[in-house]
A and B are shown apart, each in its own frame.
Chain A
Protein backbone atom coordinates (compact mmCIF):
# COMPACT_ATOMS: atom_id res chain seq x y z
CA UNK A 1 0.00 0.00 0.00
CA UNK A 2 1.59 3.26 -1.10
CA UNK A 3 0.88 6.16 1.21
CA UNK A 4 0.99 9.51 -0.50
CA UNK A 5 1.99 12.31 1.83
CA UNK A 6 0.01 15.46 1.19
CA UNK A 7 1.04 17.95 3.85
CA UNK A 8 -0.39 20.86 1.89
CA UNK A 9 -3.85 19.35 1.55
CA UNK A 10 -4.91 20.87 4.88
CA UNK A 11 -4.68 24.38 3.43
CA UNK A 12 -7.10 23.71 0.59
CA UNK A 13 -10.01 26.13 0.54
CA UNK A 14 -13.11 24.35 -0.72
CA UNK A 15 -16.85 24.80 -0.43
CA UNK A 16 -18.47 22.90 2.41
CA UNK A 17 -20.08 19.64 1.38
CA UNK A 18 -23.76 20.29 0.77
CA UNK A 19 -23.10 23.92 -0.13
CA UNK A 20 -21.81 23.30 -3.64
CA UNK A 21 -23.70 26.13 -5.28
CA UNK A 22 -22.42 29.68 -4.81
CA UNK A 23 -24.20 31.95 -2.36
CA UNK A 24 -24.10 34.91 -4.72
CA UNK A 25 -21.95 36.48 -7.39
CA UNK A 26 -19.68 39.51 -7.22
CA UNK A 27 -18.69 40.84 -10.65
CA UNK A 28 -19.30 37.43 -12.17
CA UNK A 29 -17.22 35.56 -9.60
CA UNK A 30 -19.10 32.92 -7.63
CA UNK A 31 -18.87 33.32 -3.86
CA UNK A 32 -18.99 30.08 -1.91
CA UNK A 33 -19.38 29.41 1.77
CA UNK A 34 -16.09 27.55 2.26
CA UNK A 35 -14.43 25.73 5.15
CA UNK A 36 -12.49 28.95 5.68
CA UNK A 37 -15.67 31.02 5.99
CA UNK A 38 -17.02 28.49 8.46
CA UNK A 39 -13.90 28.64 10.63
CA UNK A 40 -13.93 32.44 10.60
CA UNK A 41 -17.55 32.42 11.79
CA UNK A 42 -16.63 29.90 14.50
CA UNK A 43 -13.66 32.04 15.57
CA UNK A 44 -15.86 35.11 15.92
CA UNK A 45 -18.55 33.20 17.83
CA UNK A 46 -16.10 31.46 20.19
CA UNK A 47 -14.21 34.69 20.88
CA UNK A 48 -17.42 36.63 21.54
CA UNK A 49 -18.81 33.92 23.80
CA UNK A 50 -15.52 33.68 25.68
CA UNK A 51 -15.39 37.41 26.30
CA UNK A 52 -19.07 37.91 27.18
CA UNK A 53 -20.07 34.76 29.08
CA UNK A 54 -17.06 34.69 31.39
CA UNK A 55 -17.36 38.28 32.55
CA UNK A 56 -20.06 39.20 35.03
CA UNK A 57 -20.01 42.55 36.81
CA UNK A 58 -20.22 42.67 40.58
CA UNK A 59 -18.27 39.48 41.18
CA UNK A 60 -15.73 40.05 43.95
CA UNK A 61 -13.53 37.06 43.21
CA UNK A 62 -13.24 36.46 39.47
CA UNK A 63 -13.59 32.99 38.09
CA UNK A 64 -10.83 31.49 35.97
CA UNK A 65 -12.56 32.48 32.75
CA UNK A 66 -13.08 36.04 33.91
CA UNK A 67 -9.43 36.31 34.93
CA UNK A 68 -8.39 35.20 31.46
CA UNK A 69 -10.71 37.65 29.74
CA UNK A 70 -9.54 40.48 31.99
CA UNK A 71 -5.91 39.52 31.57
CA UNK A 72 -6.22 39.67 27.79
CA UNK A 73 -7.87 43.08 28.10
CA UNK A 74 -5.09 44.40 30.31
CA UNK A 75 -2.40 42.82 28.16
CA UNK A 76 -3.59 44.66 25.07
CA UNK A 77 -4.23 47.91 26.96
CA UNK A 78 -0.69 47.83 28.36
CA UNK A 79 0.72 47.06 24.93
CA UNK A 80 -1.03 50.05 23.35
CA UNK A 81 -0.10 52.32 26.23
CA UNK A 82 3.58 51.45 26.12
CA UNK A 83 3.82 51.61 22.32
CA UNK A 84 1.72 54.68 21.53
CA UNK A 85 1.20 56.52 24.80
CA UNK A 86 -2.03 57.92 26.21
CA UNK A 87 -3.74 59.03 22.99
CA UNK A 88 -3.34 55.62 21.36
CA UNK A 89 -5.88 54.11 23.76
CA UNK A 90 -8.64 55.52 21.54
CA UNK A 91 -7.82 52.74 19.10
CA UNK A 92 -8.06 50.03 21.74
CA UNK A 93 -11.23 48.43 20.27
CA UNK A 94 -9.56 48.01 16.89
CA UNK A 95 -6.29 46.57 18.18
CA UNK A 96 -8.08 44.34 20.68
CA UNK A 97 -10.44 42.87 18.06
CA UNK A 98 -7.51 42.29 15.74
CA UNK A 99 -5.45 40.60 18.45
CA UNK A 100 -8.31 38.40 19.63
CA UNK A 101 -9.28 37.40 16.09
CA UNK A 102 -5.73 36.39 15.15
CA UNK A 103 -5.17 34.67 18.50
CA UNK A 104 -8.35 32.61 18.31
CA UNK A 105 -7.76 31.77 14.64
CA UNK A 106 -4.30 30.51 15.51
CA UNK A 107 -5.45 28.52 18.52
CA UNK A 108 -8.57 27.03 16.91
CA UNK A 109 -6.42 26.12 13.93
CA UNK A 110 -4.33 23.95 16.27
CA UNK A 111 -7.27 21.61 16.88
CA UNK A 112 -7.01 18.40 14.84
CA UNK A 113 -9.26 18.40 11.78
CA UNK A 114 -9.68 22.13 11.99
CA UNK A 115 -8.62 24.73 9.46
CA UNK A 116 -6.16 27.55 10.07
CA UNK A 117 -7.67 30.78 8.79
CA UNK A 118 -4.43 32.71 9.28
CA UNK A 119 -2.50 30.31 7.03
CA UNK A 120 -4.23 31.95 4.05
CA UNK A 121 -2.40 34.95 2.64
CA UNK A 122 -5.75 36.37 1.51
CA UNK A 123 -6.88 36.67 5.13
CA UNK A 124 -3.65 38.01 6.61
CA UNK A 125 -3.12 40.45 3.75
CA UNK A 126 -6.66 41.80 4.15
CA UNK A 127 -6.05 42.32 7.86
CA UNK A 128 -2.71 44.02 7.16
CA UNK A 129 -4.31 46.29 4.53
CA UNK A 130 -6.96 47.22 7.08
CA UNK A 131 -4.21 48.21 9.52
CA UNK A 132 -2.32 50.30 6.99
CA UNK A 133 -5.49 51.99 5.76
CA UNK A 134 -6.36 52.90 9.35
CA UNK A 135 -2.84 54.27 9.84
CA UNK A 136 -3.17 56.45 6.74
CA UNK A 137 -6.64 57.70 7.72
CA UNK A 138 -5.55 58.45 11.30
CA UNK A 139 -2.41 60.18 10.06
CA UNK A 140 -4.24 62.47 7.67
CA UNK A 141 -7.01 63.19 10.20
CA UNK A 142 -4.51 64.13 12.87
CA UNK A 143 -1.89 66.03 10.83
CA UNK A 144 -3.67 66.92 7.61
CA UNK A 145 -1.32 67.18 4.67
CA UNK A 146 1.56 67.34 7.19
CA UNK A 147 1.30 63.56 7.49
CA UNK A 148 3.33 63.39 4.28
CA UNK A 149 6.31 64.60 6.31
CA UNK A 150 6.55 60.99 7.41
CA UNK A 151 8.15 60.33 4.03
CA UNK A 152 10.67 63.18 4.28
CA UNK A 153 13.72 62.29 6.38
CA UNK A 154 16.17 64.94 7.60
CA UNK A 155 18.63 65.19 4.73
CA UNK A 156 19.92 67.71 2.14
CA UNK A 157 17.51 68.31 -0.75
CA UNK A 158 19.58 66.54 -3.40
CA UNK A 159 19.41 63.33 -1.37
CA UNK A 160 15.67 63.70 -0.86
CA UNK A 161 15.11 62.98 -4.56
CA UNK A 162 16.39 59.50 -3.82
CA UNK A 163 15.22 59.14 -0.23
CA UNK A 164 11.54 60.03 -0.65
CA UNK A 165 10.81 57.17 -3.08
CA UNK A 166 12.72 54.84 -0.77
CA UNK A 167 10.64 55.94 2.22
CA UNK A 168 7.42 55.54 0.23
CA UNK A 169 8.40 52.00 -0.80
CA UNK A 170 9.43 51.30 2.77
CA UNK A 171 5.94 52.34 3.89
CA UNK A 172 4.29 50.18 1.22
CA UNK A 173 6.34 47.25 2.49
CA UNK A 174 4.39 47.18 5.73
CA UNK A 175 1.23 45.38 4.67
CA UNK A 176 3.37 42.80 2.87
CA UNK A 177 5.81 42.08 5.69
CA UNK A 178 3.03 42.19 8.29
CA UNK A 179 0.89 39.65 6.43
CA UNK A 180 3.72 37.43 5.20
CA UNK A 181 5.13 37.02 8.70
CA UNK A 182 1.87 35.69 10.16
CA UNK A 183 0.97 33.61 7.11
CA UNK A 184 4.44 32.08 6.73
CA UNK A 185 4.69 31.13 10.39
CA UNK A 186 1.31 29.42 10.38
CA UNK A 187 1.91 27.69 7.04
CA UNK A 188 5.36 26.44 8.05
CA UNK A 189 4.23 25.16 11.43
CA UNK A 190 1.23 23.24 10.16
CA UNK A 191 3.14 21.84 7.20
CA UNK A 192 5.86 20.62 9.56
CA UNK A 193 3.25 18.91 11.77
CA UNK A 194 1.66 17.23 8.78
CA UNK A 195 5.00 16.03 7.42
CA UNK A 196 5.97 14.42 10.72
CA UNK A 197 2.49 12.94 11.07
CA UNK A 198 3.05 11.42 7.63
CA UNK A 199 6.26 9.81 8.91
CA UNK A 200 4.35 8.15 11.72
CA UNK A 201 1.86 6.62 9.27
CA UNK A 202 4.55 5.60 6.78
CA UNK A 203 6.73 3.94 9.45
CA UNK A 204 3.77 2.34 11.15
CA UNK A 205 2.49 0.70 8.00
CA UNK A 206 5.99 -0.41 6.96
CA UNK A 207 5.85 -3.10 9.62
CA UNK A 208 8.62 -5.01 11.36
CA UNK A 209 11.35 -2.99 12.99
CA UNK A 210 10.13 0.23 11.37
CA UNK A 211 6.82 0.13 13.21
CA UNK A 212 8.70 0.48 16.48
CA UNK A 213 10.57 3.49 15.14
CA UNK A 214 7.30 5.31 14.53
CA UNK A 215 7.35 6.47 18.14
CA UNK A 216 10.22 8.88 17.38
CA UNK A 217 8.35 11.25 15.03
CA UNK A 218 5.33 10.90 17.30
CA UNK A 219 7.32 12.34 20.22
CA UNK A 220 8.65 15.04 17.94
CA UNK A 221 5.09 16.02 17.01
CA UNK A 222 4.26 16.53 20.67
CA UNK A 223 7.25 18.85 21.01
CA UNK A 224 6.43 20.77 17.82
CA UNK A 225 2.82 21.06 18.95
CA UNK A 226 3.97 22.85 22.11
CA UNK A 227 6.22 25.10 20.04
CA UNK A 228 3.33 25.87 17.71
CA UNK A 229 1.14 26.89 20.64
CA UNK A 230 3.83 29.40 21.56
CA UNK A 231 4.11 30.58 17.96
CA UNK A 232 0.32 30.95 17.76
CA UNK A 233 0.36 33.38 20.67
CA UNK A 234 3.58 35.09 19.65
CA UNK A 235 2.40 35.83 16.12
CA UNK A 236 -0.86 37.31 17.37
CA UNK A 237 1.22 39.46 19.73
CA UNK A 238 3.60 40.52 16.95
CA UNK A 239 0.69 41.44 14.70
CA UNK A 240 -0.88 43.58 17.42
CA UNK A 241 2.33 45.26 18.57
CA UNK A 242 3.29 46.16 15.00
CA UNK A 243 -0.16 47.69 14.56
CA UNK A 244 0.54 49.78 17.66
CA UNK A 245 3.97 50.83 16.39
CA UNK A 246 2.55 51.91 13.03
CA UNK A 247 -0.27 53.79 14.78
CA UNK A 248 2.30 55.50 16.97
CA UNK A 249 4.14 56.74 13.89
CA UNK A 250 0.93 58.09 12.41
CA UNK A 251 0.04 59.82 15.69
CA UNK A 252 3.44 61.28 16.51
CA UNK A 253 5.26 61.35 13.13
CA UNK A 254 9.04 61.46 13.70
CA UNK A 255 9.21 62.48 17.34
CA UNK A 256 9.20 59.86 20.07
CA UNK A 257 6.37 60.16 22.57
Chain B
Protein backbone atom coordinates (compact mmCIF):
# COMPACT_ATOMS: atom_id res chain seq x y z
CA UNK B 1 0.00 0.00 0.00
CA UNK B 2 2.66 2.48 1.04
CA UNK B 3 4.94 1.54 -1.84
CA UNK B 4 2.31 2.48 -4.43
CA UNK B 5 1.53 5.83 -2.83
CA UNK B 6 3.94 7.94 -4.98
CA UNK B 7 2.47 6.29 -8.07
CA UNK B 8 -1.03 7.10 -7.00
CA UNK B 9 -0.03 10.68 -6.19
CA UNK B 10 1.53 11.10 -9.62
CA UNK B 11 -1.60 9.66 -11.21
CA UNK B 12 -3.73 12.10 -9.23
CA UNK B 13 -1.50 15.00 -10.28
CA UNK B 14 -1.88 14.04 -13.92
CA UNK B 15 -5.66 13.90 -13.57
CA UNK B 16 -5.70 17.30 -11.86
CA UNK B 17 -3.66 18.81 -14.69
CA UNK B 18 -6.07 17.29 -17.16
CA UNK B 19 -9.03 18.90 -15.43
CA UNK B 20 -7.27 22.25 -15.20
CA UNK B 21 -6.33 22.19 -18.86
CA UNK B 22 -9.90 21.35 -19.78
CA UNK B 23 -11.13 24.35 -17.80
CA UNK B 24 -9.21 26.94 -19.82
CA UNK B 25 -9.98 25.77 -23.36
CA UNK B 26 -13.25 27.66 -23.54
CA UNK B 27 -16.74 26.42 -24.40
CA UNK B 28 -16.86 22.68 -24.79
CA UNK B 29 -19.46 19.98 -24.60
CA UNK B 30 -20.83 17.37 -26.91
CA UNK B 31 -20.02 18.08 -30.57
CA UNK B 32 -23.13 19.19 -32.48
CA UNK B 33 -24.58 16.48 -34.70
CA UNK B 34 -25.51 17.14 -38.33
CA UNK B 35 -29.19 17.04 -37.42
CA UNK B 36 -28.57 19.40 -34.51
CA UNK B 37 -26.84 21.92 -36.78
CA UNK B 38 -29.63 21.74 -39.36
CA UNK B 39 -32.25 22.20 -36.67
CA UNK B 40 -30.35 25.12 -35.19
CA UNK B 41 -30.15 26.96 -38.53
CA UNK B 42 -33.82 26.31 -39.28
CA UNK B 43 -35.03 27.61 -35.91
CA UNK B 44 -32.78 30.67 -36.17
CA UNK B 45 -34.22 31.58 -39.58
CA UNK B 46 -37.84 31.01 -38.64
CA UNK B 47 -37.53 32.68 -35.25
CA UNK B 48 -36.03 35.81 -36.85
CA UNK B 49 -38.91 36.04 -39.31
CA UNK B 50 -41.40 35.69 -36.46
CA UNK B 51 -39.59 38.29 -34.35
CA UNK B 52 -39.26 40.75 -37.24
CA UNK B 53 -42.80 40.28 -38.45
CA UNK B 54 -44.16 40.50 -34.92
CA UNK B 55 -42.25 43.70 -34.23
CA UNK B 56 -43.49 45.29 -37.46
CA UNK B 57 -47.05 44.19 -36.79
CA UNK B 58 -46.84 45.62 -33.28
CA UNK B 59 -45.50 48.94 -34.58
CA UNK B 60 -48.33 49.10 -37.12
CA UNK B 61 -50.85 48.39 -34.37
CA UNK B 62 -49.29 51.09 -32.19
CA UNK B 63 -49.34 53.65 -35.02
CA UNK B 64 -52.93 52.74 -35.83
CA UNK B 65 -53.74 53.31 -32.17
CA UNK B 66 -52.48 56.89 -32.45
CA UNK B 67 -54.31 57.54 -35.70
CA UNK B 68 -51.57 56.93 -38.27
CA UNK B 69 -52.57 54.43 -40.92
CA UNK B 70 -49.20 52.84 -41.60
CA UNK B 71 -50.43 49.28 -41.94
CA UNK B 72 -48.82 47.32 -43.59
CA UNK B 73 -45.67 49.40 -44.15
CA UNK B 74 -43.86 48.49 -40.91
CA UNK B 75 -44.90 44.85 -41.21
CA UNK B 76 -43.27 44.60 -44.65
CA UNK B 77 -40.14 46.55 -43.70
CA UNK B 78 -39.54 44.61 -40.49
CA UNK B 79 -40.30 41.28 -42.12
CA UNK B 80 -37.47 41.94 -44.57
CA UNK B 81 -35.23 43.12 -41.73
CA UNK B 82 -36.16 39.96 -39.86
CA UNK B 83 -35.00 37.88 -42.81
CA UNK B 84 -31.70 39.79 -42.76
CA UNK B 85 -31.38 39.21 -39.01
CA UNK B 86 -32.05 35.51 -39.58
CA UNK B 87 -29.20 35.26 -42.05
CA UNK B 88 -26.99 37.19 -39.62
CA UNK B 89 -27.89 34.72 -36.87
CA UNK B 90 -27.15 31.74 -39.07
CA UNK B 91 -23.78 33.24 -40.03
CA UNK B 92 -23.02 33.76 -36.36
CA UNK B 93 -24.04 30.21 -35.50
CA UNK B 94 -21.92 28.88 -38.36
CA UNK B 95 -18.78 30.70 -37.19
CA UNK B 96 -19.46 29.42 -33.66
CA UNK B 97 -19.76 25.83 -34.85
CA UNK B 98 -16.68 26.24 -37.06
CA UNK B 99 -14.64 27.44 -34.10
CA UNK B 100 -15.88 24.51 -32.03
CA UNK B 101 -15.01 22.01 -34.75
CA UNK B 102 -11.58 23.59 -35.19
CA UNK B 103 -10.78 23.32 -31.48
CA UNK B 104 -12.06 19.71 -31.51
CA UNK B 105 -9.69 18.91 -34.40
CA UNK B 106 -6.83 20.62 -32.59
CA UNK B 107 -7.38 18.46 -29.52
CA UNK B 108 -6.98 15.24 -31.50
A and B are interacting partners: yes
Q: Which A positions have Cβ atoms within 8 angstroms of B?
A: 78-79, 81-83, 162, 165-170, 172-173, 176-177, 180-181, 184-185, 234, 237, 241, 245
CB closest residue in chain B, given A181: B43
Report yes or no: B43 in contact with A177, Cβ–Cβ below 8 A: yes
Report yes or no: B44 in contact with A82, Cβ–Cβ below 8 A: no
Nearest-CB distance from A208 to chain B (Å)?
A: 37
SS of A interface (majority): helix
Nearest-CB distance from B4 to chain A (Å)?
A: 19
Q: Provide the bound-state CA to CA distance between A79 and B23, in Å.
A: 9
Q: Assuming the A-B contacts A81-B23, A176-B47, A177-B43, are A170 and B85 also in contact, with contact meaning beta carbons closer than 8 angstroms in the complex?
A: yes
Contact of B43 among A82, A180, A237, A241 (CB under 8 A): A180
**Chain A to chain B contacts (Cβ below 8 Å), 6 pairs:** A162-B81, A165-B78, A169-B85, A176-B51, A185-B39, A241-B27
Please tell me the number of chain B residues within 8 Å of chain A, measured between CB atoms.
28
Report yes or no: B43 in contact with A166, Cβ–Cβ below 8 A: no
Nearest-CB distance from A83 to chain B (Å)?
A: 5
Report yes or no: B29 in contact with A241, Cβ–Cβ below 8 A: yes
Q: Provide the bound-state CA to CA distance between A219 and B85, in Å.
A: 43
Report yes or no: B40 in contact with A180, Cβ–Cβ below 8 A: no
Interface residues of B in 20-58 (CB under 8 A from A): 22-23, 25-30, 36, 39-40, 43-44, 46-48, 50-52, 55
Q: Provide the bound-state CA to CA distance between A237 and B30, in Å.
A: 9
